[in-house]
Homo-oligomer: A and B are copies of this chain.
Amino acid sequence: MSTDLAPGKALRGPMNGVDTPALFATIDAVRGNPEIAKFRFRAKNRWVSGTHNRSVIRGFYGAGQEDASRTEDFVYDADHPAILVGSGNGPTPVEFLLHALAACLTSGLANIAAARGVRLTEVESTVEGDIDLLGILGLSDQVRNGYQGIRVSFSISGDAPEEVLRGLVEQSRARSAVYDVLVNGVPVEIDVATR
Contacts and interface: CB of A to CB of B under 8 A. Distances in A.
Interface in A21-55: 22-23, 26-27, 30-31, 34, 37-53, 55
Contacts of A128: 40-42
Given A85-B18, A85-B22, A133-B30, A185 B185 contact: yes
A185 B146 CA distance: 9
Copies of this chain in the oligomer: 2
Interface size on A, as a range, is: 35 or more
A179 to B, nearest CB: 6
B193 A156 contact: yes
Interface of A: 1-5, 16-19, 22-23, 26-27, 30-31, 34, 37-53, 55, 57, 60, 62-63, 67, 69-70, 74, 76, 78-88, 90-111, 120, 122-140, 144-157, 162, 165-166, 169, 173, 175-195
10 contacts: A2-B138, A17-B48, A30-B139, A34-B140, A42-B128, A60-B95, A62-B84, A93-B99, A147-B186, A183-B188
